[in-house]
Structure 1
Amino acid sequence: MASGQQGPNAPGAAADPAVAVTAGSSGRESAAAKALDPCLRQLAEISAGKGRWGAGDLGSLREVAAAAAGRGAPLTALITEYLDSACRVWADLPDACREESVEGLAAVASAHLRAVADATVALTEGYETAFRAAIRGEEATRREFVDDLLEGRTNLGRLAERAERFGLRLLGPHTVAVARAANLFGAGDPATRYVEEALITRFSVRDVLTTTKDGLLVCVSSGEGTDVCEAFATAVGNAVGDQYQVAISRPRRGPGGIVRSHQEARSTLDLAVQLSLPARVVHASDVLVFQVLGRDRAAITDLVATVLGGLEQARGGPQPLLDTLTAYFASGCLNTATARRLGMSVRTIAYRLSRIRQLTGHDPTDPDQRYILQTAALGARLLDWPSHPLQSAD
């Protein structure tokens, strides 16, 4: 110490504890240290006066912590800086505090420790509140981007710029997979986190985007292959068990292609449910014929009524003969394979096919007439006929 200067513990030193803290804290250049300096002066006064923080003082500490969170400073660094400074405050308390009785000194120490504890809690609360707010803001921004991406609600150029922030490249083809489970998927729930972590572990974050929408789990992957989508389906199965179904779109290019692929995947998933398809993973390319038929409901209704309407005259209704017709086409139009599939005799299958020819006027064994019957049978599945009566387009 330079000659003629008085230290905080020297005879005649200023009794104001804030002077001691200012002297003890000089030379510290960190943003956290500078922001904490006023709080440390207040801590010195509280300790010397055996008082407590006021509500406004604690609010100021929370603001300091919130500012630190905004700068990206770790909470541990902030608390460490404060506790180190609190130790210096104690060491720099005026001699008057140390010359008190044992009881008085104990009261000073108690006030100091209590103030340090309260300040630590306030700093932690302020930091965590600001951090949670930042996370919610980031989640809201990501949700807005995802909605715009999947629904095509914004300028494509602007969308591509925003995609870079989330590590997604919109150039080239993309494939979309959509999963439905017994329980709705939600952002941040265990099943969603499991699938996200499984994909991130295996693939680059620039090649895959996983999100939730309307209770479904959506995966957007770059490239024309389905490796990511297949891994997505496997992860979904591991996360939720047996009660799930995944639909995978065909790959399309650009941000607009993602919108179309998302729509196709969702419509494929709805179609799989409507047709009671048993497969866990359904590719859009495998159900294109149903999508084509479904685009003109009036026409397919008329086709089913015209071609298969006669089956309603059958004893027991049209369903047994329609099931036989569906199994016959699925078995390659082979009576033996159809009988095996349905657990019936070959004679029974032959009789039913003959009965279908009599009631509809179309012979399923005739290659020229087979296509009409098969298309009508597909339309019946799409319309859920005969469980639901056909609605006339007139």
Structure 2
Amino acid sequence: MSVDSADTPGAVHARAAALLATAHAVLVSALAGHRRQARAELARHDSERSAFVDDLLTGRAEPGGLAERAHRYGIRLSATHTVLVARTPRLTAEIVRRVDAALAARFGEGNTLTTQRNGDLVCISAGGLRGIGAELAHLLLAEFGAGGWQVAVGRPHPGMPGLVASLDEARDALDHASKLGFTAPVLNAADLLVFPVLLRDRGAISDLVATVLGPLTGARGGPRPYLDTLSVLFDNQGNHTATARQLHLSVRAVTYRLDRIHHLTGYHPNEPTQRFTLHAAVLGARLLGWPDATTR
């Protein structure tokens, strides 16, 4: 800025202020453009990552091109991988980015790949990576606090079909946990293998529920109080005192309900030979939504 000898101090100050305002506007515009470009780059990165994981887990892409894209993310398609799925209604793209960066920092680039898919957080990890489920739970706890989210860990499987199998196991574990009321923050699909077995023959499990628990529908007040009693009893490993406390009943009331169940169904959970049948029927009822699903 040039200064004329005839300029007054006020004029010089005004021109200087105008120059600073112009420089500030240019700087603000440049920073805004940089932020827009950064956001666009993040969106493109997220979109490419999401598309790659979707192609990887559906098998729709050409194998050669998929292998080339996998190499960019450090994934060997022939290796063994484990898929983890986290479910919460509060998930956002920014949270997924933070979790992805934290897992990569903890386990090393190329050992984990995290993205958002169908509303869930999906993490592909190298097979045999120890502590990945606990670490993901720790990160979600920091993001959301306790409750309102759940992580399921599929079993490790080799190759591309193994990725799909591990994903299905993790998603099924979350679905089963929702139906059964399991609230543990981390679920291992290997611990829940009995439930896919139960549902594999839906006709058989429906017949088991109807045969074993069906007589409870004739009880005064319906089957729900008795079904809840059995569910809580099995959840507490047969402990009558803990069951009574959780149900806000006396131990005598719990004993009475169990005796009524025995009278109506012929099965008693205190009988070792009958306990497994009753427990399987109760689990089946929870998976099927019985008796509510049959009365709609």
- TM-score, with length taken from structure 2: 0.80
1:306-362 Cα deviation digits (max 9, x unpaired): 110101122221112112222333333344454455454433333222211111122
Does 2:90 correspond to 1:205? no
In the TM superposition, 1:140-219 aligns within 5 A as 140-183=47-90, 185-188=91-94, 191-219=95-123
Instruction: Give the equivalent residue in structure 2 for 1:224.
Output: 128
User: In the aligned structure 1, how far is the partner of 2:72 from the partner of 2:236?
Assistant: 51
Cα shift at 1:193: 2.5
Distance 1:309 1:343, change over 3 A: same
Would the alpha carbon gap of residues 363 and 274 (structure 1) be closer, same or farther in structure 2, given more than 3 Å must change?
closer
The separation in 2 between residues aligned to 1:193 and 1:318, in whole angstroms, is 47
Give 5+ residue unaligned stretches, structure 2. Answer: 6-18
Contact 1:168 1:205 in 2 (8 A): no
Residues 321-360 of structure 1: pairs in structure 2 closer than 5 A: 321-360=226-265
CA contact (8 A) 2:133 2:186 kept: no
Q: 1:304 aligns with which of 184, 209, 222?
A: 209
Q: How many residues align?
A: 282
TM-score (norm: length of structure 1): 0.62
* CA distance in structure 1 between the partners assigned to 2:41 and 2:183 by the alignment: 43
Alpha-carbon displacement from aligned partner over 1:4-60 (angstroms, at most 9, x marks no partner): xxxxxxxxxxxxxxxxxxxxxxxxxxxxxxxxxxxxxxxxxxxxxxxxxxxxxxxxx
AA aligned opposite 2:81: H
Q: Does 1:363 align with 2:268?
A: yes
Rounded Cα–Cα distance in structure 2 between residues aligned with 1:153 and 1:381: 35
Are the structure 2 counterparts of residues 364 and 142 from structure 1 closer, same or farther at C-alpha, using a change threshold of 3 Å? Answer: closer
**1:256: how far off?**
1.7
For residue 182 of structure 2, what is the aligned residue in structure 1?
277
The one-letter code of the counterpart of 2:177 is A
Q: How does 1:223-262 map to 2 (within 5 A)?
A: 223-242=127-146, 243-262=148-167
Q: Cα offset for 1:382?
A: 0.6
Structure 1: distance between partners of 2:67 and 2:145: 36
Match of 1:267 in 2: 172
**Is contact 1:210–1:218 with CA below 8 Å preserved after alignment?**
yes
Partners of 1:298 and 1:306 in 2: how far apart?
12
Q: 1:132 to 1:366 in 2, by over 3 A?
A: closer
Q: Which amino acid aligns with 1:346?
A: V
Q: Residue 209 of structure 1: CA displacement? A: 0.3
- Partner amino acid for 2:258? L
Residues 137 and 353 of structure 1: CA distance in aligned 2, closer, same or farther (over 3 Å):
closer
For 1:271 and 1:316, the matched residues in 2 are separated by 27
Identity, in percent, stands at 48
Partner in structure 2 of residue 316 of structure 1:
221
Larger-Rg structure: 1
1:294 to 182, 199, 202: 199
Partners of 2:130 and 2:275 lie apart in 1 by 34
Other structure's SS at 2:81 match: strand
Partner letter of residue 368 of structure 1? T
The 5 Å alignment of 1:30-179 reads: 137-179=44-86
Give the RMSD, CA atoms, in angstroms. 3.5
* Deviation for aligned residue 1:219: 1.0
Distance in structure 2 (CA, Å) of the matches to 1:157 and 1:310: 59
- After superposition, the Cα gap between the structure-2 partners of 1:200 and 1:354, relative to the gap in structure 1 and judged at 3 Å, is same
Is the contact made by 1:180 and 1:244 (CA closer than 8 Å) also made in structure 2? yes
Ranges in structure 1 where 5+ consecutive residues have no aligned partner: 1-101, 103-112
Distance in 2, Cα, partners of 1:152 & 1:295: 24
Q: Identify if the C-alpha distance between structure 1 residues 280 and 138 changes in structure 2 by more than 3 Å, giving closer, same or farther.
A: closer
Structure 2 residue matching 1:177: 3-state secondary structure? strand
**Cα distance, 1:164 vs structure 2:** 0.8
